[in-house]
Structure 1
């Protein structure tokens, strides 16, 4: 599989009543911050599942809350059908667990930190998908990337150039500008999630 390529397992799916919300956007736009904002307010609601991705990197305080697997275990789990979607980016392997299908089949909403390159595979793997595209003004994004000091300036510039060119459009895409106050963009994010919370009439609520 080439870098940024993605693969999806065929949907068993008839029966999916809930919606998968894929949160996408460039590194530094604040996807993790918005998801944390929503999790603090909705995490106790059984209708909403905040998905823990599986990634072949160690968990750190500064990174998203995820499950970690070494590459050999990741590939074994993938071969065993434990993942609904997998993709590669920045030298790492990422996956959405297949167990998410159970929550969606019951009518719930699942929120996952996705990838723009993986969206075709995510749409293939899940019957109902809504995309929240988190954007940020270029000068704000550049400042955030520089402040994190994770990459050299050349890599940051290349990332910014890709960001300008990569914008998702479509009826299933909601754009949220996270350039300013997190409380403002957080409320917009919450509203987008809540719009789908009762669509599937989650069983046993």
Structure 2
């Protein structure tokens, strides 16, 4: 049985906009949080781009992802109330993307979220137009990063490393970014990928309005 499961809440009525959800995925230690922070610093002032705060049943911490924290009971109550577009479990925690993201996409915007590889099918089912940006790094660097952060024992670290191998998705739009080197290199690649989607979405909207 997979360590991650996902389920889809009912989509908000009338969310047939032209926006795109960008799901940034990759193994723990690949540097997703750092790259998202880098991109947010450069694009966060643009109202067309929403950097989504996930909801997680984990206390907030300065060195971890910027997220909204709920207790398990509060999380399950919010899920039952339809406040989440997608919810899943991984590593003993509950994760969710707020349903309010639909409103930003309905206006033609771009939403960028720290996603989950196992939850991608549910994310696509909930949002429709999804671009995956897959972050990777060399195995030895991944192992060193996991060890340096000291969150888990060696057994859990090895389990994460074993799950770091992903398969190609030839029928999906996937952007690959290697974050083995300096943060700025991969960060600029992420910013460029987001800007590319902004340009495409604007072009689609103009075409439909013509």
* Mapping 1:143-158, distance limit 5 Å: 143-158=144-159
CA distance in 2, matches of 1:40, 1:159: 29
* Mapping 1:1-205, distance limit 5 Å: 3-11=3-11, 12=13, 15-164=16-165, 166-170=166-170, 171-201=172-202
RMSD of aligned C-alpha atoms?
1.7
- Please, what TM-score do these two structures have when normalized by structure 1? 0.93
State the shift of 1:168 in Å.
4.3
State the shift of 1:161 in Å.
1.4
**Tell me, which stretches of 5 or more residues in structure 1 are unaligned?**
none
State the shift of 1:134 in Å.
0.2
State the shift of 1:51 in Å.
0.1
- Please, what TM-score do these two structures have when normalized by structure 2? 0.91
Q: Relative to 1, partners in 2 of residues 1:65 and 1:14: Cα closer, same or farther, differing over 3 Å? A: closer
CA distance in 2, matches of 1:14, 1:70: 29
CA distance in 2, matches of 1:113, 1:191: 17
State the shift of 1:157 in Å.
1.3
* Secondary structure, aligned partner of 2:201: coil
State the shift of 1:200 in Å.
3.4
Equivalent residues, number:
201
CA distance in 2, matches of 1:10, 1:124: 10
